[in-house]
């Protein structure tokens, strides 16, 4: 699994410490999620992405409050990272997104932003290669509400109506989040995204500074070059292999282990040490691939066939287990 800057978890800790309903300390919470307080100390500390996601989910369970993740995202205030300064100095929302895609890799190499344009609106989608949203929905909400918060800050709240789209079917949860963020939060969507008014990417950022941006951009490129090359984890390698073999017959664990030169038992042991399993990785890849195909307009029966399921019914059962909803409903919600 990728390692990410511990700065986000440090922020989580500050917010969690203010929670009156907390029955455990933040160090205890970190331990429950597989990491430690010492692991996140210092400006250069990095943690496993899976551990970060686990902390967010565990915190929501400990507080019995699913809105905690969104509150963490909304709670970030003021500049702090190089990426933040670069975005503030950018000329438009579009250029800020482009630069964020490049330089945010220093904080989180897994996070993906994409812009989808239609005549009546634009969407900024948020996705991940290794953390399926259906497995860690609160983590995805933290990132998405954080992105919403940053855009509001950078545009001084003048961009226009922004709505937040979630895959959840929990309408009550959406209502609570809508009140919290003071914007529309809609469920039953096909992705985690911000819906912006038309032509929002050309919206000028009030704090734009081309001269400063030039210096920051140069500094950012130097930092990128100095980043150590990281070896791919076993999880990453398996996800890559599965991505190359799918759509098609669903690979067995023994087959993938053989390609990697491992026994099935050794592969299982290493994946367990990384906090995951072959089944979890396979489910994540199948779920994300099926979502992309359904969003692209493929029929449910065709997706089931292309992903190697015995029939449409078997695929529908699996999809509902992954997401909580049926593929037909998900397809209708797609853009």
Query: Which sequence spans correspond to the domains of the chain?
Result: 3-63, 82-202, 232-334
Q: What is the pLDDT of residues 56-89, one digit of tens each?
A: 999 999 999 999 999 999 998 765 688 889 999 9
* CA pair distance 288, 49, nearest whole angstrom: 18
3-state secondary structure of 81: coil
Note the pTM of the prediction, 2 decimals: 0.77
List strand residue ranges (DSSP E) for the chain, in order.
3-5, 46-48, 111-117, 122-128, 163-165, 185-186, 193-196
Q: What single-letter DSSP state applies at residue 176? A: H
Q: What is the pLDDT of residues 136-163, one digit of tens each?
A: 899 999 999 999 999 998 898 888 899 9
What fold characterizes domain 232-334? Arc Repressor Mutant, subunit A (1.10.10)
pLDDT of res. 60: 94
Residue in the structure block whose two tokens are 């995202």: 73
What residues of the chain score a pLDDT lower than 70? 1, 78-80, 133, 227-232, 334-335
Instruction: State how far the alpha carbon of 164 is from the alpha carbons of 8, 124, 143, 158, in Å.
Output: 21, 10, 12, 16
pLDDT of res. 231: 52
pLDDT of res. 174: 95
Contact 111, 3 (CB under 8 A): no
* Close Cβ partners of 259 (under 8 Å, ≥ 6 residues apart): 241
How far is Cα of residue 70 from the mean position of the Cα atoms in its chain?
A: 13
């Amino acid at each position: 699994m990728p390692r990410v800057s511990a700065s986000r978890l440090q922020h989580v800790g500050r917010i969690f410490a203010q929670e009156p309903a907390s029955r455990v300390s933040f160090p205890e919470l970190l331990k429950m999620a597989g990491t430690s307080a010492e692991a996140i100390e210092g400006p250069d500390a990095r943690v496993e992405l899976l551990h970060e996601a686990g902390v967010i989910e565990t915190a929501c369970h400990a507080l019995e409050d699913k809105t905690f993740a969104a509150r963490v995202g909304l709670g970030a205030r003021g500049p702090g990272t190089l990426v933040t300064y670069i975005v503030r100095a950018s000329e438009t929302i579009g250029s800020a997104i482009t630069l964020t895609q490049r330089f945010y890799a220093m904080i989180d190499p897994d996070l993906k932003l994409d812009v989808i344009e239609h005549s009546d609106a634009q969407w900024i989608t948020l996705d991940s290669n290794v953390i399926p949203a259906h497995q860690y929905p609160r983590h995805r909400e933290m990132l998405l509400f954080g992105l919403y918060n940053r855009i509001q800050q950078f545009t001084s709240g003048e961009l226009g109506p922004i709505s937040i789209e979630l895959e959840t079917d929990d309408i009550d949860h959406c209502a609570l989040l809508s009140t919290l963020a003071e914007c529309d939060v809609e469920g039953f969507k096909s992705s985690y995204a911000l819906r912006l008014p038309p032509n929002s990417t050309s919206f000028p950022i009030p704090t734009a500074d081309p001269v400063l941006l030039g210096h920051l951009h140069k500094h950012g490129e130097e930092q990128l070059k100095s980043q150590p090359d990281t070896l791919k984890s076993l999880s990453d390698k398996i996800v890559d292999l599965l991505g190359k073999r799918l759509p098609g017959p669903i690979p067995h664990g023994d087959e993938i282990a053989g390609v990697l030169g491992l026994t099935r038992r050794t592969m299982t042991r290493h994946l367990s040490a990384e906090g995951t399993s072959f089944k979890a990785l396979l489910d994540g890849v199948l779920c994300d691939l099926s979502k992309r195909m359904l969003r692209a307009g493929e029929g449910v029966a065709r997706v089931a066939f292309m992903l190697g399921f015995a029939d449409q019914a078997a695929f529908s059962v699996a999809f509902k287990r992954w997401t909580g909803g049926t593929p037909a409903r998900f397809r209708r919600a797609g853009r």
